[in-house]
Amino acid sequence: MFTGFDFDVIQRSLPYLWQGMQFTLGLTLLAMASGIVLGTLLALMRLSGIKAMSVPAAGYVNLLRSTPAILVIFWFYFLVPIAIKHISGDSYAQGIGPFHSALIAFTMFEAAYYCEIIRAGIQSVPAGQVNAAYALGLNYWQATLQIVLPQAFRNMVPILLTQSIILFQDTSLVYVVGLTDFMGAASKVAQRDGRLVEMYLFAALVYFILCFIGSYFVKRLQQRITPPR
Amino acid sequence: MDFSFLSEPAFSGGGTYFDWVLTGIKWTMLVSLCAWVIAFTVGSVLGILRTTNVIWLRGPATAYVELFRNIPLLVHMFIWYFVMPEMVPKALGTWMKTGMPMPEFWSAVFALGFYTASRVAEQVRSGIQSIPRGQTNAALATGLTMPQVYRHVLLPMGYRIVVPPLTSEFLTIFKNSSVALTIGVLELTAQARTISEYTFRTFEIFTLATVVYVVITLAVVVLMQYVETRIRVPGYIGTGR
How does pLDDT run along chain B (241 residues), one tens digit per residue? 788 888 888 777 778 888 889 999 999 999 999 999 999 999 999 999 999 989 999 999 999 999 999 999 999 999 999 998 888 888 888 888 888 888 899 999 999 999 999 999 999 999 999 999 999 999 999 999 999 999 999 999 999 989 989 999 999 999 999 999 999 999 999 999 999 888 888 888 999 999 999 999 999 999 998 998 888 877 765 544 3
Q: What is the pLDDT of residue A86?
A: 80
Contact list, A187 vs chain B (CB under 8 Å):
78
The superfamily CATH assigns to domain A8-225 is: MetI-like (1.10.3720.10)
Q: Which residues make Cβ contacts (< 8 Å) with residue B145, sequence separation at least 6?
A: none
Task: Determine the Cα–Cα distance for residues B198 and B187; give it in Å rounded to an integer.
Answer: 17
Domain chopping of chain B, boundaries? 21-188
Please give the Cα distance from B82 to A200 (Å, whole number).
8
Burial classification of residue B223, based on how many CB atoms lie within 10 Å of its CB (0-12 exposed, 13-18 middle, 19 or more buried): exposed
ipTM: 0.89
In terms of CA atoms, which chain A residue is nearest residue B85?
A: A197
How close, in Å, is residue B41 to chain A by CA atoms?
A: 24
Q: Name the pLDDT band for A229 (thresholds 50, 70, 90).
A: low
B234/B112 Cα distance (integer angstroms): 35
DSSP B16: B
pLDDT digits (tens, 9 = 90+) for A139-198: 999 999 999 999 999 889 999 999 999 999 999 999 998 899 999 999 999 988 888 888
Element (H, E) at A75: helix A69-88
pTM for this model (two decimals): 0.89
For the four alpha carbons of A188, A203, A76 and B165, in that order, the dihedral sign comes to: positive
B31 within 8 A of B108, measured Cβ to Cβ: yes
pLDDT of residue B239: 46
pLDDT at B15: 83
- DSSP assignment, residue A147? I
Higher pLDDT, A211 or A84: A211
pLDDT at residue A228 above 70?
A: no
Number of Cβ within a 10 Å radius of residue B171: 19
Of all residues in chain A, the one with the smallest CA distance to B184 is A176
For chain A, percent of residues with pLDDT exceeding 70: 95
* Shortest CA gap B149–chain A (Å): 26
**A38 contacts chain B (CB < 8 A):** no
Residue B215 CA to residue B219 CA, distance in Å, equals 6
Residue extents of the structural domains in chain A = 8-225
Across the interface, of B69, B178, B217, the residue whose CB is closest to A70 is B178
- Give dist(CA A187, CA B173) in Å, integer: 24
Burial class from Cβ neighbours inside 10 Å (0-12, 13-18, 19+) for residue B66 reads middle
User: What's the pLDDT at B23?
Assistant: 92
Contact A189, A13 (CB under 8 A): yes
Give dist(CA A209, CA B196) in Å, integer: 38
Give the SS3 label for residue B52: coil
For residue B9, give every residue at least 6 positions away whose Cβ sits within 8 Å of its Cβ, in sequence order, or none: B15, B16
CATH 1.10.3720.10 for domain B21-188:
yes
In one-letter notation, the amino acid at residue A2 is F
pLDDT at A49: 87
Chain B residue numbers with beta carbons less than 8 Å from the beta carbon of A196 are 78, 82-83, 86
Phi, psi of B134 (to 5 degrees): -55, -30
SS3 content of chain B, % helix, strand, coil (to 5): 80, 0, 20
B87 vs A1: CB contact, 8 Å cut-off?
yes
A50 pLDDT exceeds 70? yes
| B9 contacts B16 by C-beta, under 8 angstroms | yes
Nearest chain A Cα to B201, which residue? A78
